[in-house]
Amino acid sequence: MRNFDLTPLMRSSVGFDHLSRLVDSALTNDSATAYPPYNIEKISEDDYQITMAVAGFAPEELHVTVQEGTLIIAGRALDETGEQSFLHRGIAKRAFERNFELAETIQVGDAHYENGLLQIDLKRVIPDHKKPRNVEIRSSAEKAPSVRSIKASAA
């Protein structure tokens, strides 16, 4: 596989560190990142849901954290008590941490655990100042003072 060095692009930009991480994670093809499997579903125009298959984990062994625009889902198995002897152990219960980069407008809602599936609700909330708005068109007779006329009268 080819390796891409994006360092020259990052030298001439400020504040786009997260972009570098996103591109780097997209180009990294690591089989360890396939565990545990998950779905990202669009429920409605502004609602999403992440469903992660975490069979074998109890709810108290799972941790969901939101930190600086990143959703972090981690699972750490508690120490099993008692002696068990397996002839075959095919159910993976290894520790994991999966990160999801969130857009600024995405808020994390509730998390639900049922039948070995962890579901996390996400909602897009667009602030009023970013929503489209209509600008009223006035006639020349009802013209509001412009920025220039306000500055001229103040001087």
The answer on pLDDT for 153 being more than 70 is: no
Instruction: Give the position of tokens 């972009």.
Output: 19
pLDDT at 147: 58
DSSP conformation letters of 6-71 = -HHHHHT-SS-HHHHHHHHHHH---GGGG-S-EEEEE-SSSEEEEEEE-TT--GGGEEEEEETTEE
CB 36 within 8 A of CB 98: yes
**Are 47 and 117 contained in the same domain?**
yes
pLDDT mean over 99-117: 91
Q: pLDDT (tens digit, 9 = 90+) per residue, 125-138?
A: 888 888 888 888 88
Bond before 132 cis per omega within 30 degrees? no
Q: pLDDT (tens digit, 9 = 90+) per residue, 32-70?
A: 567 889 999 999 988 999 999 998 899 999 999 999 888
Identify whether 146 is part of a domain.
no
**Are 115 and 47 contained in the same domain?**
yes
d(C-alpha 28, C-alpha 20), whole Å: 12
pTM of the model: 0.64
Q: Which domain holds residue 100?
A: 36-79+90-129
The answer on pLDDT for 75 being more than 90 is: yes
pLDDT mean over 85-95: 81
Phi first, then psi: give them for residue 135, nearest 5 degrees.
-105, 125
* Mean predicted lDDT score pLDDT of the chain: 79
The count of structural domains within the chain is 2
Identify whether 71 is part of a domain.
yes
Q: pLDDT (tens digit, 9 = 90+) per residue, 13-30?
A: 555 555 666 666 666 655
